[in-house]
Structure 1
Amino acid sequence: APAHAQSQGLAAADTIASVTVIGNKTVDAELIRRGFGLPVGSRYSTDGVRQGIRRLYDLGFFNDISVEGNPTETPGGVAITLRVFENPRVGAVEFGGIDHFNRKKLLGFTGPIVGRMADDRLLAETERHIRRAYAKDGYTRAVIAPRYLPGDSEFRRILYVDVQEGPKMRVEKIEFVGARQINTSKLQGAMEQGTTGFLRKGIYKPELATEDEKLITAEMAKQGFRDGKVLSREVVEGSSHDRLVLKIEIDEGPRYYVGSVKWEGNEIIPAPLLYSLTQTESGAVFNQEKIDETRQKAYEVYAERGHIYLNIRPDFAAQDSTVDITFRVIEGEPSRIHDIIIAGNTRTKERVIRRQLAIRPGDLFRQSALVRSNRELQQLGFFADLGLDTRPVPNSNDIDLVFNVKERQVGTASAGAGLSSSAGLTGFMELGHNNLFGNGQSLQLRMERGGRRNNAEVSFTEPWFMGTPTTVGVDLFSTNRIFRSSTLDLEIKRAGGAIRVGRPLPLAYTRLFASYRLESQSIVDESLDIESSDRAFVTGFRLNREDALTSSFALRLSRNSSDHALYPTAGSVTSLRGEITGGPLGGDQVLQKYEFDHKHYFKTIDLQGWKPVLMFRPRVGAIGGAFRDKGFFPDSFVIDEDVAKLYETGSGVVDSLEIFGSKIPIELPVVPSHYLEYVPETNELFRLGGINFDPLRGYDDFEIIPPSNRNVRFDLFETVNVTTDSTGAVTDSSSTFNSVQQNVYFPGGRYMLAFSTEWQFPIADPLHALLFMDVGGTWNEVKDFRWSDLRRSAGMGFRMEVPLIGLLGLDFGYGFDRLNETTGRYDGEGWQTHFQFGRIF
C-alpha cells in the first residue's frame, strides 16, 4: 500500500505540537493517534514517522496513509497531519454452491465477519477456515474462492464465498510398502484413519497423518521392530473418482527379542512382587507396550505406598537381535496428604462431601483411596461432574488434593401427570429433595391419584445419624394400586410404615441394612365383581379378600462400586436380601423371601465416538414356608353351596365344558361348584413380566408363571324365565344357566431365575440408548426346573434424565415365548412396549 511522508524545514530537535487525523470514517481518531505512536510532546524524527506508518498499516484498517509535517508558528514545534484512507467493511456474507454445510454452519466455522475490514487478510482467513471444515468431513478437493462484491455504499462490501465442494473422498485401501515380516493388519488397525467397509465410512481425513505416523511406529515397536519408522506417505487415485488408496512406506528394521529382564534400585517393594508385575519375559518378542504396562503396574504398586515422585526408567542394551531390559528404580520419599480442598459446592455442605472421602489430611497417599473417594461421591447423586487435581507442597514431598464438584439439580417441587405401562395415567403432586439443606438428607412427599392408583407416601432418610455413618430412615404410606393383566385384575391396598437402619462394613463399598415393616394389606380380585342383573356365581378360582396384618423384618447386604449413579461405565451393584414375615414376628401372613441381584458393568469398544457399556445382571429368588401350618397352595376344594344345589335339582347341568380347546366331562377339579381359594401370601410369589416388581421385558406384567399353575374360573349366570297371563299373574317360571369359562394364570412360583444383558451407549447428552436380551422363569419346586422353561426376549430402549421429572424410559421388547391364551401354553411371540413418564414409584 502506498505511504507518503512530507516535511518542510523540520529538524530532529523539533517537538510534535499536534497530531491531526483526517479521512477516517469509522475508525476512532484517538485509536489512530495511539497506533501512530508519536504523541504530542515527543521528539520529531523521520524514522519515527516511518515506524508510525508501519504500525498503522499493521492495524489492518487502511489501504493508504500519508503524513504531513509542518512548522508551527511557535519556533521548534511541528504540526503533524495523518491522512488515512480506510478499507471498506463487510456488510453482508453470501455463499454459493454449498450443499453439505448450510450457511449457519459455515459462519460458525469462520466466526463473526460482518463489520470487519474487507481486506486480503480476511479473504485468506475465511478460505482457510472453510477449507479445513470441508477437509475434516472428507471433502479434501473442495475449492473455496472468497471475493468481495460492491455493497450498498462506498464503504461496504459483500463477502461472497464461492464453493465447489467436489466429492466426499473415502479411503478404500491402505498399503504398506516395505512390509516383510510385520503384521500389516495390526498396523492398519492401530491407525485412526480407516477404510470403507461394513459399518465403516472410511472418510479421508488428512489431519490424522501426524498422529497415525506415531501410532504406526508404536505398533511396530509392539511387534518387536523397535527401530521401525515411517519413511513416506502418498495418496493416489482409487477405483473411482471419490476413492483413494493410501500408500505408506515403512522401514521395519530387525525384529528384536527379549534377553534378560532385571529390576534394580528397589527397596520398598520386594523384587518378587516386581517380577510378578513384569509383562514380558526372556525369549519373548520385544514389545514396547508390554514395557509401558510393566512400568504402569509398578507405579500403581508404589502409589499404594505413597511413592508418587519415583522414577522407573527402562534401560535397553541391544546386541544383534536381543535386547536386555533393566528397570532402574529411584524410589524417593513417600508422600502424604497435606490438605484436602473442596471447590465448586454452593449447596452441599463441605462436611457432607468430606465424610464420603476415604482419605484424610496426614494420611499416606494411596491411589485406591482416591478411586474409592471418587466413586463414593458419584454415588451420592448430587454432582453432575467431579474433578480431582493435585498440587505439590513447596519444599516437601507432600501434596494437596483439590476436589472440584459441579452440583446438579436434585430437588423437586412439581405437579403434573405421569404415564406408565402398569399404572396408566396418574396425576401427582410431589415435594422432594435428596440433599435437604445441603446436609445430604432425603425427604420425599408424594400424593398421587389416578384410575389405578391412590397413594400418599412420606419418606425421610438421614445418612449420618448422630454424626456416625449410620443410615436411619422412616417410611409412612397408604397406597391403593390396581395391577391389570390379561387374565387377572388385582387391587392391592396397603397402609403402614417402616423403619430402616444401615451401617458400612469393613469391606469397601459395602453396607448392611436392617428394616422392620408393619402394614395392613388387602388384596382384592376385581374380576369377581360381575356386573349383571342376573344372579351370578363365580367358581373354580378365588383369592381371599380378607384384610391381613403384615409384620416383617429384612436384612440386606449391599455393595455398590459403580462409578456413576445413573449411567455407570465400570464397577458393580450387588444386593443380597432376606426377609422374614410373620411367625415369631406375629401378623397374619407367614413367609420368608430371599433375593440376590447383581449388576456388573464393563467398558467395551469405542465405535466412532460412541463408548458402549455392557451390563450383565443375574437375579435369583426363593420363598420359604417355615412357621406355616399349611402350604402356599390350597390342598382341598371349597364347595359353593348355591351352585351345588343346581346340580342336585338337575337344573342347568352342563355335561361337558371346553377347557384349553378340548371337550372334557365335568369332574374334579373343574366342577363349577368346586373352587380353589388362595391366601393373600400367594401374591408374594414370583410372577415375571413387564418392568415392575420382577421385571422381564418383552412380556406383559405378571405374564410368566409356572406352567402348572394355570387355573380355571367359571362365571355361571342364572336367568329366570317368567310366563304371565293376560292379567299379569305369573303362571309359570323356569331357570336357565349359562357358563362362561375364563383361564386364570395365578399364582406365581416359589423360585425365580432371570438373566439380563444390556449394551448401553450415549447418543447425545442426556439421551442414552440400549440393546437388551432377557431370559427368566419361575418354578414351584427346585426339582421342577427346566432350561426350556426360561422365557426369552430381546429388544431396544432409550433412557433420558429430565430435571424435575426424573428418568424417562421407553423399551421395545420382543418376547419369543409369549403366553398363548388359546392353548394355555407359552408358544406365542410378539412385541411388548414398556414405558414410563414421570416419577413412577
Structure 2
Amino acid sequence: MAGHGQAAHRAARRMITRRGRRAAVLAGTVSAALWAGTAAGQTYAFNDVVVNGNVALEDATILSYLGISRGEAVTAGQLNDGIQAIRNTGLFASVDAVPQGGTLVLNVQEFPTIGRIAFEGNSRLSDEELLALVSGTARRVYNPANVEADALLITEEYARRGRINATVRPVLIERENNVVDVVYEIAEGGVSEIERISFVGNRSFSDARLRGVLETKQAGLLRQIIQRDVFDPARFEFDQQVLRDFYQSRGYVDMQITGADVSLTAERDAYLITFNIQEGQQFRIGNVTVSSEIPEADVADYVQAIRPREGQVYSPQFVDENIERLERLGARNGVPFLTVEPRITRNDRALALDIDYALVRGERVFVERIDIEGNNTTLDRVVRNQFRTVEGDPLNRREIQDSAERIRALGYFADVAVDTRPGSAPDQAIVDVNVVEQPTGSLSFGANFNSDNGVSLVASFAEANFLGRGQGLSFSLQAGRESQVLSFDFSEPNFLNRDLRFGFEASYTNTDNEESLYDTREFRLSPSFQFPISDYGRLGVYYAADFTEIVNVSDSASPLIQAEAAEGGLWTQSVGYSYSWDTRRSGFDSRSDFAVRFGQEFGFGDRTFIETTGMAMAQTRVLQEDVVLRATLEGGLLSYQDGRSRVTDRYFLNGTRFRGFEFAGIGPRDADTLDALGGESYAVLRLETEFPLGLPEEYGISGGAFVNYGSVWDVGDTRSLTEDDILYNDFTARATAGLTVFWDTPIGPLRFDFSEPIQIEDEDRARNFDVSVATRF
C-alpha cells in the first residue's frame, strides 16, 4: 500500500510538471479567433470590464496593466497591446479576452505562488550555493520560464566546475491555496577533466614548455587518479592571450593563434584542447632613437633613459618600461602632458624592429576625481595608494593602466576594472575603479619535514589585508623535536601614505638538540623601513635588538663553547641596511632573471661588529626553454671590533645552502670534542640545472643536477684554545655533486637530492640523501 502511495505521488509530480509546461504554452495564446476577421481600423468602446479567474490580484491591478479606461475608444491593435502587457507581467499562466457588446471579459489564470525552493541529489554544491544562483524565492510568483532559466544556470555552474554531464530537472509539487514547491532534481555526474593540451605549428618551443605558461593544466590519461584541472571558458580565453604574450615577449611579433579547439571525448568524460599556432620569425631590437615634437623637451635628456639598446630580442615589455621611464622623466622636468608614442618600423631583411620614441603633447585632460566601488572591507586609501596620479593631475592613460595592474597585484580582489569617462567639463575625466573583494586571510595547521630538523608541527595565522587597511599580519608557531619557533610579523606597505613599507617582526627560538652538547635561546625584535630607489631596486633600513643565551652545556663540550656560555645571556643592538635588485615580475614568465642582494649590519653597545652579507642569482632557459640553468653565489663576513662572536652568532651551513652535508656538517671543529664551532666567514657557489624526465606531465616530476662549492671558516677569537686545537679554521674548500628529483605535490613542491662528496675532510658530516621544500629561483 505504501508503494502504491509513492507511485501515485511520483505520477502527481510528473502530471504537475506537464501542467506547468502546458501553462507556459497557454501564456503565449489568446482567443485570437475573435479578432481574426476584425478590420485593422475598427474601434471599440467598452462601458465595463469583467475579470474572471483572479485570486491573488485585485481587478484594479489587472486593469492597470491593461491600460484602457472605461468608455475610451480603442483600436483592435491597442486592445491587443493591452492584453500583451498583462501577459508580460509574468504573473499569469493564460490570458483570454472576449468582447461581449459593450463589456470586455478578461479570463485569467494566475501562476501559483512559490512555497519553497529545494534541491535533491546535490553533494558537490551546497543548497546555499545553489540558492544564490536561482532567481526565484519563496512567496514570489512562480514563472516557468524563470525556473527553466535557473535550471540552465545551475547546469552551467556544474559545467564550469568540470561536471559537463550534470543534469537539472525542475519539478513542481502542488500545495493548497494555489501554492507550489519548486524542486530541482540534480544528477551531478562525474568530473570531465582535461586529458590533453596539445599544440600544432610550434617549432621554437616544445609542448611541455608552452603548457607550463598556461593557467589551465592537463590531467593526462591518469585523470581518474591525478585530478589536475577542469575546463573553464573564461580561463581558456585568458590562456590564449598568455600564449600571445609569451611569444611576443620573445620577439615573435607576428605570432598568431589560428585556431583553438575544445572537444569532448566520445565518453564525454574528458576534454581535448588543441592550439594551432603560427609562430612567424623572431625579431630583435634595431635602431633606437628619441624624437621630440615638444620644444621644451630636449631629446638629449631622454636618450640616456632608454634601455635596453640595439641587438636584444624584442619584447613589448621593454617598450612599455621605456615609455614609463620617459613619461616619468617628463613629469620631473616639468613638461606637462608629455606622452610617448613608440613608432616601430619593421626591417624584414634584418629581422629587426627600429623604435623611435616620439615625445608628443598628449590630450589636455585633467583627473577630476577617482571613484572607487565594490570595496566593502578595503579602505579607499588602500586602492588610491596604487595610483601615482591624484585629483588635479594631467590624465595619463598609461599610468591609469599601470595603476590597475598594481591594484590587481595586491591580491585583495578577485576582479578589478579601471576605466575613465568624461567629467563635468571637456578637459576633465573621472577614473572609475570597480573591484570585487576576495578572502585574504588563512588559518592553517600542518607539519613540516626536512632532513636537518625532522618533523615539526606548524600552526599559523596570516592576514594580508588586516582590517581592510592593506596591512599584513601573521603569527606562526613551529614545534619540533629539536627546536621551537614563535614568530610575529606586521607590515604597513604605505606608511604615511607614501611608497614606504614599515615592518615589525619579533621571534623567539629555543633549540633542544639531543645530539648537541648545548642548547640555545634566541629572541629578536626588529622594526624596519623599505622603499624603492629604481625600477628594480629597493633599499631597506632597520634596527634590531637581539638576546642570545647558551644553556645546558655538557661538561664534555668544547672549552670554547663552555667559555662562551659562561658569559650568560647577552643583548646586542644593531642598525643595518639591505639593498635588493630583482628583475623578476609577478605573472611574467621570462626567459632570463637576475637578482642581487647586499646588506650590512652594524652592532653597537657591549659588542661592536660589522656583518656583511651578499647574494647574486641568475637563471636562464635553453634548449627551447625546456632546460633551466641556475647559478647562485652567496657569502657572509662577521668582523668584531669590540667583543667576540659566539656560537649563536657565527655561520653554519645547512643542507639547503650546501647540499650533500648535514647541518653544521662542515667548518671549524674542536680538535678534541669535534664540536662544530661555526665560522665568521662563509662562501658558497651553487650551480643547478632542471630538466624534464620524459614522464607524463601530470605526475609533476622533473629532474635536475647540481654542483656545490664553498666553505665556512674562521672562528675569530679562540679564547683559551690555540690554533692547533681547532680543525679547519682556515678556508678549506668542499664540493659536492648530485642529482635531484623535483615533485610538485598537493602539499607543496618537494625536492629529493642524491649527492656525493667531491672534496671532503675527515671530520665532515656528509649526507647522501636530502628531502626539502623546493625553493626555485
Q: Within 5 Å, give how 1:260-271 maps onto structure 2.
A: 266=293, 270=299
Whole-Å separation in 1 of the counterparts to 2:454 and 2:236? 57
The answer on 1:749 being equivalent to 2:709 is no
Inter-partner Cα distance in structure 1 for 2:147 and 2:161: 21
Paired residue secondary structure (2:106) = strand
Q: Which amino acid aligns with 1:709?
A: R
- The AA in structure 2 aligned to 1:596 is G
User: Which residue of structure 2 lines up, in the alignment, with residue 681 of structure 1?
Assistant: 646
Deviation of 1:42 after TM superposition, in Å, equals: 5.1
Q: Is 1:49 aligned to residue 79 of structure 2?
A: yes
Q: Distance in 1 between matches of 2:744 and 2:286?
A: 53
CA 1:687–1:229 in structure 2 vs 1: closer, same or farther (change >3 Å)?
Answer: closer
Residues 106 and 130 in structure 1, CA contact (< 8 A), matched pair in contact too: no
1:14 to 26, 34, 45: 45
Matches for 1:652-731 after TM superposition, within 5 Å: 681-689=646-654, 702-706=663-667, 709=669, 711-713=671-673
Give the Å deviation of 1:746: 1.7
Counterparts of 1:55 and 1:683, CA distance in 2 = 85
The counterpart of 1:543, out of the listed 525, 544, 562, is: 562
1:595 equivalenced with 2:613 (yes/no): yes
1:779 maps to which of 702, 705, 712: 712
How much does 1:704 deviate?
3.4
Q: Select which of 620, 635, 644 maps to 1:620.
A: 635
1:48-88 Cα shifts (integer Å, max 9, x gaps): 332233333444554543224457xxxxx746433336589
How far apart, CA to CA, are the structure 2 residues paired with 1:410 and 1:215?
25
Q: What is the alpha-carbon root mean square deviation over aligned residues?
A: 8.2
Does the 8 A contact of 1:263 with 1:329 survive in 2?
Answer: yes
SS where residue 48 of structure 1 aligns? helix
Match of 1:579 among 602, 616, 620: 602
| SS across alignment from 1:576 | strand
What's the CA shift for 1:594? 1.9
Task: Decide whether aligned partners of structure 1 residues 507 and 31 sit closer, same or farther in structure 2, where only a CA change above 3 A counts.
Answer: same
Structure 2 CA distance for partners of 1:68 and 1:362, relative to 1, 3 Å: closer
Shift of 1:779: 1.7
Following superposition, the deviation at residue 788 of structure 1 comes to: 0.5
Post-superposition CA distance 1:129-173 (Å, at most 9, x none): 74796599596xx6x998787855697787768899999896797
User: SS at 1:47's partner residue?
Assistant: helix
Contact 2:264 2:271 in 1 (8 A): yes
Task: Write the letter of the residue equivalent to 1:81.
Answer: L
How much does 1:621 deviate? 0.9
Q: Distance in 1 between matches of 2:274 and 2:586?
A: 46
Q: Counterparts of 1:638-649 in structure 2 under 5 Å?
A: none
Structure 1 segments unaligned to the other structure (5+ residues): 72-76, 177-181, 282-288, 529-536, 608-612, 633-679, 714-743, 760-768, 801-808, 836-841
Q: Give, in whole Å, the separation in 1 of the partners of 2:557 and 2:636.
A: 33
Distance change in 2, residues 1:266/1:43 (3 Å): same
Shift of 1:22: 1.4
Give the paired residue count. 678
Distance in 1 of aligned mates of 2:278 and 2:457 = 70
| Structure 2 CA distance for partners of 1:162 and 1:624, relative to 1, 3 Å | closer
CA distance in 1, matches of 2:323, 2:484: 59
SS of 1:828's partner is coil
Cα separation, partners in 2 of 1:382 and 1:248, compared to 1, 3 Å? closer
Deviation digits for residues 375-399 of structure 1, max 9, x if unmatched? 99999x9977997957566656676
Name the amino acid aligned to 1:14: A
Per the normalisation by structure 1, the TM-score is: 0.52
Q: How does 1:482-493 map to 2 (within 5 A)?
A: 482-492=510-520
In structure 2, the residue matched to 1:332 is 361
- C-alpha separation between the residues in 2 aligned to 1:226 and 1:435? 45
1:16, 1:41 within 8 Å by CA — same for their partners in 2?
Answer: yes
Structure 1: how far apart are the matches of 2:393 and 2:640?
A: 51
Check whether the contact 1:92–1:114 (CA below 8 A) recurs between aligned residues.
yes
Report if aligned partners of 1:375, 1:562 keep a CA contact under 8 Å in 2.
no
Paired AA for residue 827 in structure 1: A
2:491–2:503 CA contact under 8 A, matched in 1: yes
Residues 370 and 15 of structure 1, relative CA distance in 2, 3 Å threshold: closer
Q: What is the alpha-carbon distance in structure 2 between the residues aligned to residue 329 and residue 219 of structure 1?
A: 27
For the residues of structure 2 that align with 1:219 and 1:159, how far apart are their CA atoms? 44
Give 1:195 deviation, angstroms.
9.6
| Cα distance between partner residues in 1 of 2:126 and 2:377 | 43
Query: Are the equivalent residues in 1 in contact too, given 2:190–2:269 (CA < 8 A)?
Result: no
CA contact (8 A) 2:120 2:183 kept: no
Q: 1:83 aligns with which of 104, 108, 112?
A: 108
Q: Does 1:526 align with 2:553?
A: yes
Q: Which amino acid letter does the alignment assign opposite residue 4 of structure 1?
A: S
Letter in 1 for 2:665: I
The residue identity in structure 2 corresponding to 1:56 is I
**Separation (CA, whole Å) in 1 of partners of 2:244 and 2:426:** 39
Aligned with residue 826 of structure 1, among 743, 754, 765? 765
1:4 is paired with a residue whose SS is coil
Q: Which amino acid aligns with 2:713?
A: N
TM-score, normalization: structure 2? 0.55
**Residue 55 of structure 1 aligns to a residue in which SS?**
helix
> Which amino acid is the alignment partner of residue 622 of structure 1?
L
Q: How does 1:392-407 map to 2 (within 5 A)?
A: none
Question: How far off its partner does 1:709 sit?
Answer: 1.6
- Which residue number in structure 1 is paired with residue 577 of structure 2? 557
2: CA distance between counterparts of 1:34 and 1:789? 90
Q: Counterpart amino acid of 1:543?
A: Q
Percent identity (aligned): 11
* Structure 2: distance between partners of 1:247 and 1:476: 52
Please list the CA deviations of residues 229-257 of structure 1 after superposition, one character each: whole Å capped at 9, or x if unmatched: 97x99999999999999999999999999
Hey, what's the Cα distance between the residues in 2 that align with 1:126 and 1:145? Answer: 9
Equivalent residue letter for 2:735:
S
Change (3 A) 1:830 1:388: same
Q: How far does residue 576 in structure 1 lie from its aligned partner after superposition?
A: 0.4
Structure of higher CA gyration radius: 1
CA contact (8 A) 1:175 1:245 kept: no
Q: Report the CA distance shift for 1:338/1:617 in structure 2 as closer, same or farther (over 3 A).
A: farther
- Deviations 1:481-531 (CA, angstroms, capped at 9, x unpaired): 641335315344679x98978697966764463647586x54234334xxx
Gaps in structure 2 of 5+ consecutive residues: 1-25, 36-41, 332-336, 691-700, 715-728
Q: Is the 8 A contact 2:577 2:600 kept in 1?
A: yes
Alignment of 1:788 onto 2:735: yes
Pair 1:197–1:20, CA change in 2 (3 A): closer
- Aligned AA (1:752): Y
CA contact (8 A) 1:22 1:83 kept: yes
Preserved contact between residue 619 and residue 755 of structure 1 (Cα < 8 Å): yes
1-side partners of 2:648 and 2:324: how far apart? 52
Which is worse superposed, 250-259 or 54-63? 250-259
Shift of 1:747: 0.5
Compared CA separation, residues 396 and 378, structure 1 to 2 (3 A): same
Instruction: Provide closer, same or farther for how the CA distance between residues 382 and 314 of structure 1 changes in structure 2, counting only shifts above 3 A.
Output: closer
Hey, what does 1:764 align to over in structure 2? none
Aligned partner letter, 2:635 = V
Rounded Cα–Cα distance in structure 2 between residues aligned with 1:418 and 1:705:
28
The residue type equivalent to 1:67 in the other structure is A
Q: Deviations over 1:803-823 (max 9, x none)?
A: xxxxxx9988768479xxxx9
